């Protein structure tokens, strides 16, 4: 009996070591390429580092962000406005596309490929393409509007609409979230729809009482990823507008890039990076805090249905 117990303990220990061994490539990679640079960045945020010399300044970089550098809060405000516009649109458009592509229609696989393909194209080439499309003189969009007697605006040159133009450009990549929604839709049990039909629910009622509640974990997942991604937007504004006109598209990452690689203020840029990290973390925690009120899971959903039926 004692030998058998020792054998089980030894086998459990071997399995544990095997698990750590298989996980070790990821752990080593995370420590070297993620955790290490993060700790180095945190240390550099407390110094005056310019790639050649460094000097300990403590929290002075963080103080400068809020007292001297007016562009920090301004660029952060532009980034938050962009996130407030782009994230809901991505959620809505991706979900609606997934609903349409979840129907039984001819050439369904072709349509799915067509809508997903833009999201895998190179970001720089797509942005350059959109710059040409939105050109006020010879752009495709203004040419189409001209056929209807409408004079198109300067999409990327007008401070009042430049940010909205970048939001419109970002919808080009909605296919990635659409694919996640589509996988979620196909995972919903048909029993729930059958029960709803027995109760006399029409298509619209099934959408709001079955589909959306069951898709809430997927919506939550895309919401968190959307917030994180939109607050780190860089290439769109860098290539299309350069932050202009009149700083209307001057995203936070553009300002960070300028401080780090144009002015070589690496210590200050590291402090900016940590400020963005804190903002993203706080927003993510808020979303998680309120997510429990509207995110449902299948087992909980079924229990609620049975309770109501009882």
Instruction: Copy the structure tokens of residue 147.
Output: 């056929």
Q: How confident is the model at residue 255 (pLDDT cuts 50, 70, 90)?
A: very high
- Secondary-structure breakdown of the chain: helix, strand, coil percentages, each rounded to the nearest 5: 75, 0, 25
Q: How confident is the model at residue 10 (pLDDT cuts 50, 70, 90)?
A: low
| Spans of all domains in the chain | 1-44, 59-309
Q: What is the pTM of this model?
A: 0.88
**267, 54 contact by CB (below 8 A):** yes
Instruction: Copy the structure tokens of residue 162.
Output: 């430049």
117 burial (CB, 10 Å; 0-12 / 13-18 / 19+) is exposed
**274, 252 contact by CB (below 8 A):** no
End-to-end CA distance of the chain: 50
What average pLDDT does this structure show over 213-241? Answer: 94
What average pLDDT does this structure show over 271-280? Answer: 96
Instruction: Copy the structure tokens of residue 52.
Output: 């050649």
Instruction: Copy the structure tokens of residue 293.
Output: 């009120």
Between CA 236 and CA 243 the distance in angstroms is 9
Between CA 297 and CA 214 the distance in angstroms is 6
Helix (H, G, I), strand (E, B) or coil at 47: strand
**134, 155 contact by CB (below 8 A):** yes
pLDDT at 164 over 60: yes
Query: Under CATH, domain 59-309 is a member of which superfamily?
Result: MetI-like (1.10.3720.10)
Between CA 287 and CA 281 the distance in angstroms is 10
pLDDT at 264 over 70: yes
Instruction: Copy the structure tokens of residue 54.
Output: 């460094």
What is the per-residue pLDDT for 104? 83
**243, 237 contact by CB (below 8 A):** yes
Q: How confident is the model at residue 113 (pLDDT cuts 50, 70, 90)?
A: confident
């Amino acid at each position: 009996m004692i030998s058998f117990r020792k054998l089980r303990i030894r086998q459990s220990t071997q399995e544990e070591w095997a698990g750590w061994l298989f996980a070790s490539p990821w752990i080593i990679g995370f420590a070297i390429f993620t955790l290490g640079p993060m700790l180095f960045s945190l240390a550099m945020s407390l110094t005056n580092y310019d790639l050649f010399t460094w000097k300990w300044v403590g929290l002075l970089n963080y103080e400068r962000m809020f007292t001297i550098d007016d562009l920090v809060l301004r660029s952060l405000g532009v980034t938050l406005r962009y996130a407030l516009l782009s994230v809901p649109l991505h959620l809505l458009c991706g979900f609606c596309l997934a609903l349409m592509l979840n129907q039984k229609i001819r050439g369904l696989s072709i349509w799915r490929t067509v809508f997903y393909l833009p999201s895998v194209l190179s970001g720089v080439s797509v942005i350059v393409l959109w710059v040409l499309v939105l050109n006020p003189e010879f752009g495709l969009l203004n040419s189409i509007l001209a056929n209807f007697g409408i004079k198109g605006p300067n999409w990327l040159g007008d401070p009042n609409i430049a940010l909205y133009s970048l939001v419109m450009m970002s919808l080009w990549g909605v296919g990635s979230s659409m694919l996640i929604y589509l996988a979620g839709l196909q995972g919903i049990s048909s029993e729930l729809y059958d029960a709803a039909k027995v109760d006399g629910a029409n298509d619209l009622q099934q959408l709001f009482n079955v589909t959306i509640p069951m898709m809430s974990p997927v919506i939550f997942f895309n919401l968190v990823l959307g917030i994180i991604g939109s607050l780190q937007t860089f290439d769109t504004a860098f290539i299309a507008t350069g932050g202009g006109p009149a700083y209307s598209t001057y995203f936070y990452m553009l300002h960070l890039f300028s401080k780090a690689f144009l002015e070589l203020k690496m210590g200050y840029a590291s402090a900016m990076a940590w400020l963005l990290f804190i903002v993203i973390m706080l927003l993510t925690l808020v979303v998680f805090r309120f997510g429990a009120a509207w995110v449902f899971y299948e087992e909980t959903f079924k229990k609620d249905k049975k309770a109501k039926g009882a």
